Amino acid sequence: MLFSLTNPEIAILMMGIFLFAVLLGFPIAFTLMAMGLGFGYYAYFDPAKMEHLFDNRIFQLFVQNTYTVMDNNVLTAVPLFLFMGYLVERAGIVAKLFFAIRLASHRLPASMAVAALVTCTLFSTATGIIGAVVTLMGLLAWPAMIKAGYDKKFASGIICAGGCLGILIPPSIMLIVYSVIAQLSPLRLFAAAIFPGLMLAGLYIVYAVTLAYFNPSVAPKPKAEEIPPRSEILKEVFVSFLPLFSLIILVLGTILAGIATPAEAAAVGALGAIVLSYFYKTLKWKNFKESVFLTAKTTAMIMWLFIGSWTFASVFSYLGGHEVFEHFFKSLDLEPWQFLVITQIIIFLLGWPLEWTEILIIFVPIFLPLVEFFGVNPYFFAMLIALNLQTSFLTPPMAMSAYYLKGVQSKNVELMDIFRGIMPFLGIVILAMVLMYLFPAIALWLPDTLFAN
């Protein structure tokens, strides 16, 4: 049966089997490698040149992909940013930050929700690990909101939506990965993502404040006796907010100013996290060791996903899979806006069963040649995808952020309540995409201004 099919048909069969295996729950990285090696053995099979069983170009391709990933200078930033995030998390800096912002915003409706979203936004600039942000804020901010009388669905939506901002707000690991795949400047991608990320966080805050203003029962105001004197509030903000904020500005500022590469700035950020932990007196050997271990574990997972995805994508392209999609889209005679809508719908649907890494490394390369064909700015397209990938963590029934929160609050909230709380924020993400499409300068003004020359 296999040999009666054309190569493009085999490529489509390869994609179908992969998606089916993922839905069955097989480990994605090893499924990608197995599919790439298995179908690659067929794709590169040449009996005339074959001297033994392992004399096949697919094994050379696999080794070459492994070496290329490990030798990529841009990807050096990944473990350094991960280490910075894990150390900040384990040093208790985020808890201090949440408490300080909570006091500073006490006059606003839904002040605790605002504090949680601002904390998530700042913490997202220190780490792009979605699970870590949602888990930590689920242990820190969610119980505090429930104790203060907040609605469980509302509090759950705040934590899940805010925790996903790390995939968009630089220095996002996702943007580093995208820059490698699309051969785009990571500096320009970081610059392009700043305003969309802040816009999305701002829309979340506006929604929370507006809802609490018209329906105070979902987010009661703090009692007057719970608010300390203004001098104490200023002290907390100065001690807890300014140091981390300064570190973030230092890391992003050196990148956007062109003073340092992302890898160099990540190294500065990692050193800065160690210094902050020392001055907060939380630099313990246990925290340091756990941060190193989790960094190595997460980095290894990301790199193996890279290797498996690139091997899979290479074989898929060699068999003609990319050409099938390219010819299909070109034959439809689409307008650029129609192409953008269709691709974003596809990526939105892929977010149900797949994580952002597989979507980025396998499916985005299918669309990249078409971006140039339809005359779409590649950085604008990247920002649409970055916003869209927020939905992959927020769309039931595979909303991973909901499962992260459920994992740490399993006895205190039902999964369906989390899903209900997420839905308004899912609509806000779609609104943000529409706004950015209508006003492309949200994404393009800053990189065009900073890198005009």
Tens of pLDDT, residues 296-336: 888 888 788 888 888 888 888 888 887 888 888 888 888 88
| Overall domain count for the chain | 1
User: In which element (H, E) is residue 145 found?
Assistant: helix 130-147
Place 151 in a pLDDT band, splitting at 50, 70 and 90: very high
3-state secondary structure of 149: coil
Give CA–CA dist 350/361, Å, rounded: 13
39 assigned to some structural domain: no
Closest of 86, 5, 71 to residue 39, by C-alpha: 5
The yes-or-no verdict on residue 441 having pLDDT over 90 is yes
346 assigned to some structural domain: no
Give CA–CA dist 182/111, Å, rounded: 40
What mean pLDDT do residues 237-257 have? 81
Angstrom distances, CA of residue 453 to CA of 130, 303, 408:
35, 34, 49
Place 1 in a pLDDT band, splitting at 50, 70 and 90: very low
Place 4 in a pLDDT band, splitting at 50, 70 and 90: low
pLDDT at residue 130 in the model: 62
**Burial label, 372 (beta-carbon count in 10 A; 0-12, 13-18, 19+):** exposed
The yes-or-no verdict on residue 421 having pLDDT over 80 is yes
Q: What is the pLDDT of residues 7-49, one digit of tens each?
A: 888 888 888 888 888 778 788 788 888 998 989 888 888 776 6
The yes-or-no verdict on residue 444 having pLDDT over 90 is yes
Place 392 in a pLDDT band, splitting at 50, 70 and 90: confident
The yes-or-no verdict on residue 2 having pLDDT over 60 is no
The yes-or-no verdict on residue 387 having pLDDT over 50 is yes
256 assigned to some structural domain: yes
348 assigned to some structural domain: no
202 assigned to some structural domain: yes
What mean pLDDT do residues 283-303 have? 85
pLDDT at residue 52 in the model: 67
Within 13 Å, how many C-alpha atoms sit on residue 225's CB side?
0
pLDDT at residue 268 in the model: 86
Orientation angle between helical segments 378-392 and 336-350, nearest 10 degrees: 30
pTM for the predicted model, two decimal places: 0.84
How far, in whole angstroms, is CA 343 from its chain's centroid? 19
Tokens of 33: 């490698």
pLDDT at residue 15 in the model: 85
177 assigned to some structural domain: yes
Who wins on pLDDT, 354 or 106? 106
Give CA–CA dist 150/217, Å, rounded: 7
| Domain range enclosing 249 | 77-303
Place 126 in a pLDDT band, splitting at 50, 70 and 90: low
pLDDT at residue 148 in the model: 87
The yes-or-no verdict on residue 382 having pLDDT over 50 is yes
377 assigned to some structural domain: no
What mean pLDDT do residues 104-117 have? 88
405 assigned to some structural domain: no
88 contacts 273 by C-beta, under 8 angstroms: yes
Sign of CA dihedral 303, 306, 308, 311: negative
Q: Mean pLDDT highest for which of 35-39, 59-63, 286-290, 377-381?
A: 377-381
The yes-or-no verdict on residue 225 having pLDDT over 80 is no
Share of the chain above pLDDT 70, in %: 95
